[in-house]
Structure 1
Amino acid sequence: MPAHPTLYLKRNLFQKYGHYALNLGTAADYDLILRFFYTHKVKAQYLPLLMVKMRMGGVSNKSYKSLYHAFINDYKALINNQLPNPLLILLLKKLSKIKQFFN
């Protein structure tokens, strides 16, 4: 899954597959990435460059309440894009972020 600040997309993809689902709050970018790359199988080009250094903090993880809302909205994004086993995917997503606390 690409980090959202490093993702560059062509305008025609938005016209063809839709825009950000703003009703999903902080998961709007997650939904867009799932829709483009998993649902519609858009091809991507990987650039092995360090372009952005993401840091801890932000709207989605500033409090327990915001973590809960982020979890719910991520779940909705997975359901909207019909990915199998959404709870397992979310668990693995959260587990993959643990290493951020030790860097």
Structure 2
Amino acid sequence: MPSFAVHVSDQRNRIMISVAGELDFDTCPRISRVTDDVSLGDRTLCLDMAGVSFMDASGLTLLRSLYRNTEAQGGTLELSGLQEQPRRILELTATDAPGVT
């Protein structure tokens, strides 16, 4: 199994979550456990995906859920560092949106 890591940094106006590894059925629950404990308020949740080379449908479902949850809390979701394959998945499913960098 490839290595996988999640790092959380709680900053003043944002919470940064850096992910390294594949975003798939096996790893998404680990991110969910981290994000379920995050209280955003009106802050930004920035998901740094520079270390994510592969994302499947589970990863896409996770991103949609994160988007809904951050909006419900009054925050915003920002994706950064998208590599080619995850970016292509977002484009093909028409889920690429503002905040994706």
**Structure 2 length normalisation: TM-score?**
0.29
Give the number of the structure whose residues are more often helix, by fraction.
1
Q: Return the TM-score normalized by structure 1.
A: 0.29
Name which one, 1 or 2, has greater alpha-carbon Rg: 1
